[in-house]
Amino acid sequence: MAESVSAFLFLLRAAFHEPARIIHAWMRVRDEEHLARFVMSSSHVRKKSGTVKPNAFMPHKGQVSVTRHFGLNESRLWKKGQRIARGRVPSATLYGRADILAKNVRRQKLSVNPAPVWRNVNHANLDQWPDDKATQKMIAQELAKLSIYVAKP
């Protein structure tokens, strides 16, 4: 409850400073939008090929968190990733990100829903995962194949 109140107050305050981004944060994610799945485990990256492994896209509690690129340059996108990593308990290391187009997520029969949170109005969730682990793994494999891994500079 406290987190949702904090997020609401943050969005209200931010609405006066960056109204276009706040309005966009609640809008439907367009198919052409790039999404970043921040990678915080070295085991989720194939070092030789520089690609991301499917486990980076496996759902936790029925969803996968991503950050929309909208309105963010590379520097600000990496700062978002660093903030997310530091906010984990325990704090995590940011290794890179897997970028994927929203339309490629939807082709896997998943939904992409805006879900602004405290300090990340560009947050979204990949939802509607099947309950079956084997099917989740197949979808995660396809998402990994369709994504582009960008190592942290």
Residue 100 pLDDT > 90, yes or no?
A: yes
Average pLDDT over residues 143-150: 98
Tens digit of pLDDT for each residue in 112-141? 999 988 888 899 999 999 999 999 999 999
Handedness of CA 149, 90, 2, 16 (dihedral sign): negative
Residues 78-90 as b or e (16 or more Cβ within 10 Å = b): bebbeebbeeeee
Tens digit of pLDDT for each residue in 18-57? 555 555 556 789 999 999 999 999 999 999 999 999 999 9
Q: What is the C-alpha separation between 52 and 15, in angstroms, rounded?
A: 35
